[in-house]
Amino acid sequence: MIAETFNLTDYCQRIGYAGELHADLATVQALMQYQLRSVPFENLDVLAGKPISLNPDDIVAKIVDRQRGGYCYEINGLFALALQALGIEWQFVAARPLFYPVKRPRTHAALLVRVEGVEWLCDLGFGSYGIRAPLRLEVLDTPVQQDSDTFMLSEENGDLILKALVEGEWARQYSFNRCPVEWIDFAPANWMNSTHPDAVFTQKPLVVRFTEDGRNILFGDAFKQIAGHTVTKRTIAAEEQAMLLAEHFRLTMEA
C-alpha cells in the first residue's frame, strides 16, 4: 500500500499526537488511541452518493487534508500507512461480521500487526463494539479490559472470533484468520457496502467517535452517548444534524 502524499508529521497533527515515534508497541497503542478519538467512523459520502476510493492518496486527502472520517477500508488503510512509515510489519485480514441474523461475507478490513515479536489485532474501523487498543492474538478466552469496554478473542473452527461484553453477555462481533489479503481484494466489498440497497451504510447516517470513557454514536436520527456505564439517548431533528456532527464528531458537512 503506497501513498505518495502520506506524511507522518501531517498524520500526527491530524490526530493530535505530539509524542515520540518509535517502531514499538507503545507507539502503536498511542497512535491507535489518538486516531480513534479524532477520526470518526462515518458513511456520509456513501449517503451523498459519492464513490468511496481505495486509492491511498485519496484516503489521505479525505481524512488528513479535509478532516473527514470514513469506514473500515479508509480508516484502517490510513493507520496502515502510519505503521508502514514507522517500519512496523502489518497485514490486512478480511473479517466476517457476526452480528447479522444471516451469514455475511468477509467484508470487514482489519489489521494484524507484528511488533516486538508479537502479533496483535488492530482495528480502528469497526462501527459496532470496536476494540480500543491492540489485542494480543495468542491470548485466547481471556477477558481484556480496555477503558470501560471488555473484549475477548476465542478460536472456533480455525477462525479467531472477536467478542465484546455487552450488557453482561458476550456478543460475537466478527471472525477472521491469519490469511493475508491484498488491498485490492477489498474492492468488491467496498463496492457492495457503498452501493447495495441492503447495506447498512446506504440507508441512514452511521457516525461513531471514540471518547476517553466511551463513544458517541449517531445512527439515523438516534444519538447515543456512552460514558463508562452511563448511556444517554435522544432523537435529533434534521436541522440539528450539522451542529451535532461538528460538536460531537468533529465533522463539517461538505457540499
Q: What is the pLDDT along the chain (255 residues), one digit of tens a residue?
A: 888 999 999 999 999 999 999 999 999 999 999 999 999 999 999 999 999 999 999 999 999 999 999 999 999 999 999 999 999 999 999 999 998 778 888 999 999 999 999 999 999 999 778 999 999 999 999 999 998 899 999 999 999 999 999 889 999 999 999 999 999 999 999 999 999 998 999 999 999 999 988 999 999 999 999 988 889 999 999 999 999 999 999 997 664
Give Cβ neighbours of residue 67 (< 8 Å, ≥ 6 apart): 14, 250, 251, 252
Catalytically annotated residue among 45, 72, 122, 149: 72
Q: What is the pTM of this model?
A: 0.95
Catalytically annotated residue among 108, 147, 179, 229: 108
Question: Structural domain boundaries of the chain?
Answer: 8-198
Q: Is 72 an active-site residue? A: yes
Q: Is 108 an active-site residue? A: yes
Q: CATH number for the 8-198 domain, one of 3.30.2140.20, 3.90.15.10, 3.30.750.24, 3.40.1500.10?
A: 3.30.2140.20
Rounded Cα–Cα distance for residues 191 and 196 (Å): 8
* DSSP conformational letter for 62: I
3-state secondary structure of 183: helix
Cell numbers for 138, please give them: 495468542
Rounded Cα–Cα distance for residues 82 and 79 (Å): 5
Catalytically annotated residue among 45, 122, 123, 149: 123
Q: Is 57 an active-site residue? A: no
